[in-house]
Structure 1
Amino acid sequence: MNATDMLAVALDAVARGWHVFPLRPNSKKPPALHGEKDCPRSGICATTHQGWEQRAMNDPDQVRWFWTSRRYAGCNVGVATGPSGLLVVDLDSVDSPADVPTDGWKRVGVRDGHDVFAVICEEAGQPVPWETLTVDTPSGGRHLYFRAPRDVQLRNTQGATGNGLGWKVDTRGWGGYVVAPGSTTPTGRYELVEDLPVADLPTWLVHRLSPKPVTATTAAPQIASQRLPAYVDAAVRGECHYVAQAAPHEHNAVLYAASGQLGQLVGGGMLPAFQAEQALYAAATHMINGSCGCTEREIRRVIEKGLRAGEQRPRTAPPNKTRRGAA
């Protein structure tokens, strides 16, 4: 497809209310935007690196500038699911005859993510929610688009890991993206096969995908000598909750993001640095020497780096509830 075609793909996605960013031409990853390692620390990144999720755009004029520029013309289109208010269920196909169901999914008739999702729905006593915008992927998979709930932040899941749904069933929410329909790869095109209104994510799936409550082993430590304001305490617990629930493939990204959020409170004088570091480390201990290969040294390095970055964007307490007009 030429540059004009890809501009049309990006504008169509924006017209649907989605937030987009450029992927490399004819590829689904990695994003074409610069990474943290190559960040010039200027412009939009003057204070701290802004990743693809932060830079995803919903302005048609901005999209036209990007997809007609020399650097980004012809780029595939990524849809940042979190900012777009989406939760996409990704039903994967099998890669080869050797790609067989994992333990717990070795059942008659279960061959891929489509079958697993159908079984999940059946066991929950719920109909399979096919009636929504649907995209078929070049590899034979399928993306089911849903409106994410506003009262809970659903993050990515992979397979049966953590609070994931099952073998060959991934989800993309905050921290994730999908390739927009109309984009192409060497193996084919992302095809919009059901151009239906995006349905609400069924309530039972919201419950299945919601992070589990923080347990005593992963909760932020209580330090009696430094009582935190309710707003700050809630922020610490929330970020530590995400860290405690992070899947192996996203340990560093989740830990860095959470450290950055708490670093903003440190920079604003709302949270002692040592307390932020202790809480984050306590929540991240499950990552050490796990399947991802994270070490204690690496965990502490990521926390320190994230806190430093957050401190460059200080955040203080929210406005008093009696004040009006603040967003």
Structure 2
Amino acid sequence: MATTDRYPRQATTLALAHALSAAERGLAVIPLSRTKLPALRSPHRDDPTAPPCHGECGRPGHGVHDASTDPARIRELFAAAPWATGYGIACGLPPHHLIGVDLDTKSGADSSTALRELALRHLFTIPPTVVVLTPSGGRHLWLTGPPDVVVPNSAGRLAPGIDIRGAGGYLVGPGSRTDHGVYATAPGTAHLAPAPCPRALLRLLLPPPRKHHSAPLSAAGGAHGRGLIQFVLAAHEGQRNTRLFWAACRAYEDGIGPELADVLVDAAVRTGLTAREARSTVESAARMTGHHS
């Protein structure tokens, strides 16, 4: 039993060491569980009426929003999660503005070939960069983006099996231990710095330009519904999901959620969210308020 009890502590100690090493390179980190999810649960999980919080409350448990490069803060996070066996690296933050290209193998798609075909079609080359090997046989390519560009997360939008980790996302750091094995830096890449994302690839990763429409989306929900729609339409980069979630919660609480759900999704898409992201956020609001979308 002593060996069984000791193993998690050893794994956590090793994960913390790797996380602190990453922080020294300017990479903000959070502790992860063996499931690759943030190890600390939300402090608001028992309060369905709590407004969206990205850590403003000062307590840990806000996922990637807890990410830090401060060694003292990182030790505090790991001390609060002694079951952590890995760490996540937040994407999109300065100084690296990390972009992760996740070449997955679980979907059955040949993601590496798909990336090579995209490179040939759009005339770019992936420069030498950090590559992390996943336990399932996939690869994470680390790239950096310009400080004034926000790259969104996406799954399969670029090509089947290619997921993108951008602002608000994270990559499992090398040295992390999960239920399926250990993440490791590919031989010959550990000493490299993340390379700049090729411009042609960066253009593929960005959402389509925001379109401006003068016509109202819908009269759904009456004046109150129109107010919620305009609230979503006024969202700027970095607040689109938060505004959509808040508006959807208010709609469901006021009994117009089912009527307004599709219209709110359309409004969010106009601000630059993908339909999949927007619908997921509205569905989360429905669950949070005890309704079904």
Same fold (TM over 0.5): yes
**Structure 1: stretches of 5+ with no match in the other structure:** 102-111, 222-231, 243-253, 263-276, 307-327
Matches within 5 A, 1:11-90: 11-24=20-33, 26-28=34-36, 30-35=37-42, 36-38=44-46, 46=57, 51-67=62-78, 69=79, 71-72=81-82, 74-83=84-93, 85-90=97-102
TM-score by length of 2: 0.67
Q: Which whole-Å CA distance do the structure 2 matches of 1:199 and 1:294 have between them?
A: 34
Q: Which whole-Å CA distance do the structure 2 matches of 1:73 and 1:58 have between them?
A: 21
**Structure 2: stretches of 5+ with no match in the other structure:** 1-9, 218-229, 248-260
Q: Which whole-Å CA distance do the structure 2 matches of 1:301 and 1:197 have between them?
A: 37
Are residue 283 (structure 1) and residue 267 (structure 2) matched? yes
- Deviation string for 1:239-277 (max 9, x for gaps)? 5xx8xxxxxxxxxxx864244799xxxxxxxxxxxxxx9
Q: 1:300 to 1:93 in 2, by over 3 A?
A: closer
Q: 1:169 to 1:71 in 2, by over 3 A?
A: closer
Residue 238 of structure 1: aligned partner: 236
TM-score by length of 1: 0.61
Residue 177 of structure 2: aligned partner: 184
Q: How many residues align?
A: 244
Cα deviation, residue 214, structure 1: 2.4
Amino acid in structure 2 at the alignment position of 1:123: R
Tell me, yes or no, if the aligned pair for 1:281 and 1:300 is still in contact at 8 Å.
no
Tell me, yes or no, if the aligned pair for 1:256 and 1:302 is still in contact at 8 Å.
no
Cα deviation, residue 191, structure 1: 0.7
Tell me how large the CA RMSD over aligned residues is.
4.3
Cα deviation, residue 70, structure 1: 5.9
Moved over 4 A (4+): 39-42, 47-50, 216-221, 279-282, 290-295
Q: 1:133 to 1:236 in 2, by over 3 A?
A: same
Q: Which whole-Å CA distance do the structure 2 matches of 1:217 and 1:53 have between them?
A: 33
Cα deviation, residue 32, structure 1: 1.4
Are residue 152 (structure 1) and residue 164 (structure 2) matched? no
- Deviation string for 1:169-193 (max 9, x for gaps)? 1110012111000001233211111
Q: Which whole-Å CA distance do the structure 1 matches of 2:71 and 2:12 have between them?
A: 16
Q: Which whole-Å CA distance do the structure 2 matches of 1:48 and 1:66 have between them?
A: 10
Matches within 5 A, 1:1-327: 2-24=11-33, 26-28=34-36, 30-35=37-42, 36-38=44-46, 46=57, 51-67=62-78, 69=79, 71-72=81-82, 74-83=84-93, 85-94=97-106, 99=108, 101=109, 112-127=110-125, 129-159=126-156, 164-193=157-186, 194-195=189-190, 196-215=192-211, 236=234, 238-239=236-237, 256-259=241-244, 282-284=266-268, 294=279, 299=282, 302=285
Q: Which whole-Å CA distance do the structure 2 matches of 1:21 and 1:294 have between them?
A: 27
Partner secondary structure for residue 12 of structure 1? helix
Tell me, yes or no, if the aligned pair for 1:135 and 1:143 is still in contact at 8 Å.
yes
Tell me, yes or no, if the aligned pair for 2:39 and 2:83 is still in contact at 8 Å.
no
Identical amino acids, percent of aligned pairs: 30
Q: Which whole-Å CA distance do the structure 2 matches of 1:181 and 1:73 have between them?
A: 18
Amino acid in structure 2 at the alignment position of 1:51: H
Q: 1:155 to 1:148 in 2, by over 3 A?
A: same
